Structures are given as structure tokens and as C-alpha cells.
Amino acid sequence: MMPEIENINEEKTNELRMREEKTEEEKKKEETVIPKWKPWECFLCGKSFTLRGDLNRHVAGVHDKLKPVSCPICDKKFRDKGAYTPLDL
């Protein structure tokens, strides 16, 4: 075989190997992606939740428009503690 052809074949072989080999980052992504099982579904909009408490909070805040958390300083109301940020005066 001629040296030029050998080099071309070797380059193509190396290129194919590199395409087949996944980077460590790609492998980690594949390992960490786990499909979530969400058995609790909102009967009003169809959104699914992992925990029943999350579904209850969703229905109360989104559909019932309840805002049980309020700021002690300005009395502004919030859907949940996560939406409330204390004011720094």
C-alpha cells in the first residue's frame, strides 16, 4: 500500500473513533438524566407533580388565587414562602 493512502485511512479511522467515544461530560449527563415519575396531576390544567403537597400548593396558588403568606412590613401577599423576599429597610 502507498504511504499516502495509509495516512488517509489512519486519519479516517481516528476520526471515526473520536466520534464514537463520548466525552466524560456527555457520559455524566446521560447518567444524571433520570425520568421523573409524577403521579399527581392537576384536574384543572393537567400539570403533573411528584409530590401531592406540590399539587395542593399549585391548585391553591394558581387556580384558587390564594396568597397565604404576607410581608409583616408592607402587608403585600404572596402565593408561597418561595415568592416572598423580606424587605431590607
In a domain, 9, yes or no: no
Q: For residue range 53-70, list pLDDT tens digits in order.
A: 999 989 988 999 888 888
pLDDT mean over 38-50: 93
Query: Would you say residue 76 lies in a domain?
Result: yes
Q: How confident is the model at residue 16 (pLDDT cuts 50, 70, 90)?
A: low
Cα-Cα-Cα-Cα dihedral of 70, 75, 78, 80, to 10°? -10
Tell me the CATH number at 77.
3.30.160.60
pLDDT tens-digit map of 20-36: 666 667 767 766 666 77
With 0.75 as the threshold, say if the pTM is over it: no
Domain count, the chain: 1
| Residue 66: inside a domain | yes
Residue span of the structural domain in which 44 resides: 40-83
79 neighbors 69 (Cβ within 8 angstroms): yes
Residue 33 sits at φ, ψ, to 5 deg, of -80, 105
**Any domain includes 51:** yes
